[in-house]
Amino acid sequence: MDLAVRAPLKEAQTIREALDAQQAIDYTRIPKKEGGHLYIPVIRAVDEYDVVEIALKARPEPAPSLREALEKELSEEEFENLKTAYDLVGDIAILEIDEELRHKESVIAQTLLETQPAVNVVVRKDGAHQGELRLQDYKHLAGEERFETAVIENGVRLSLDIRKTYYSVRSATERKRVAELVHEDERVLAMFSGIAPFPLVIAKLAHPKEIIGVELNRKAHGFAEKNVLQNKVANVQVIQGDVREVVSTLGTFDRITMPLPHTAQDFLDVAVPACNPGATIHLYHFSSEEEVQAFAKTLPGRIAELGRQASILDIVKCGNLGPGIHRWSIDIQVK
């Protein structure tokens, strides 16, 4: 049997804080709610409260870190080459393993799989994002042999195949930032929309009039269609095609997202004619802190060549590509 303070539910929070201040809470047990009371586990009797004996569940031990779990498997030198941070996309853990440590990749992956309950598949990045479709190769290392999974991001469920579609969990905060800028009466164009994270996060958090996504990759578009259906949003339309051919047929917009950081600026001739007066473009770009200001300054000039006035509203750091190279959103107002 365990010891617990029997706290009426309405007072439970205050009593819990008082017990915590007296260092009386037993954090190895889980509190239990029953019959209008919360049973708060304690390590000793506390005079001013009603202390009873009750069976409580033990709190599970926290999972060891990958470094702790590998202690017996790697030498000190191998530990120096180990990158312990990994991306978790749904239930797939994505590791980066340097050449020097590849002979140990199976044991690293198996250890990760066995110690992290949320992980069912472990893969290793093989190279960088490549080509027009920005695809990345992965080598399967442990767990179920699949590359498909589903992610919950900003309250939206996104199904995807990490080998056939581009998706980065690291851009979730930026998508939320943009969604929070969107007004109810806006028409939004998500260029390069992939599996539709931008359209769906905007639809979920902002409820604008209409959002249209355009994506070239047929596989990504297939997942985008599935994601629109499974999130039950009525005002999102996704189109498969090249923005160069499709956008001019869609009318004009109040906001355009351009998440193609290496070459987005080469598509300004597509985006600018699709802007309503006062529209905002979020143009993504990779560069250093020093270079981004100079790059942003060139944009109003490029837009002037397309016959419109523009000004820079904001330059927001929203990720990293490598040492010293960041991902930026340059927020532009087109007049």
Ligand X SMILES: C[S@@+](CC[C@H](N)C(=O)[O-])C[C@H]1O[C@@H](n2cnc3c(N)ncnc32)[C@H](O)[C@@H]1O
Residues that bind ligand X (CB under 6 A): 132-134, 166-168, 171, 192-194, 197-198, 214-217, 220, 242-244, 259-260
Q: Which is nearer to ligand X, 29 or 282 (CB)?
A: 282
Q: Could you give the maximum distance between any two Cα atoms of the chain, in Å?
A: 79
- N- to C-terminal Cα separation, the chain: 71
Distance between CA atoms of residues 221 and 90, nearest Å: 19
Q: Indicate the SS3 state at residue 74.
A: coil
Instruction: Quote the tokens at residue 205.
Output: 């958090």
Residue nearest to ligand X (CB): 194
Q: Which is nearer to ligand X, 103 or 262 (CB)?
A: 262
Cβ 202 to ligand X shortest distance, Å: 11
User: Residues 310, 312, 318, 324: what is their CA dihedral angle, to the nearest 10 degrees?
Assistant: 110
Q: Which is nearer to ligand X, 39 or 192 (CB)?
A: 192
Cβ 322 to ligand X shortest distance, Å: 16
DSSP class per residue in 112-165: HHHH-TT-SEEEEEEEEEETTTTEEEEEEEEESS--EEEEEETTEEEEEETTTS
Cβ 43 to ligand X shortest distance, Å: 48
Q: Which is nearer to ligand X, 49 or 286 (CB)?
A: 286
Burial label, 72 (beta-carbon count in 10 A; 0-12, 13-18, 19+): exposed
Centre a 10 Å sphere on the Cβ of residue 63 and count the other Cβ atoms it contains: 14
Cβ 174 to ligand X shortest distance, Å: 9
Cβ 247 to ligand X shortest distance, Å: 9
Instruction: Quote the tokens at residue 325.
Output: 């190279």
Q: Which is nearer to ligand X, 138 or 166 (CB)?
A: 166
Contact of 74 with 102, CB cutoff 8 Å: no
Cβ 197 to ligand X shortest distance, Å: 5
Among 128, 123, 166, CA closest to 142: 123
Cβ 177 to ligand X shortest distance, Å: 13
Centre a 10 Å sphere on the Cβ of residue 85 and count the other Cβ atoms it contains: 7
Cβ 167 to ligand X shortest distance, Å: 5
Q: Which is nearer to ligand X, 109 or 191 (CB)?
A: 191
Distance between CA atoms of residues 73 and 107, nearest Å: 8
**What are the angstrom distances between the C-alpha of 287 and each of 127, 320, 323?**
20, 9, 11
Q: Which is nearer to ligand X, 39 or 267 (CB)?
A: 267
Q: Which is nearer to ligand X, 116 or 193 (CB)?
A: 193
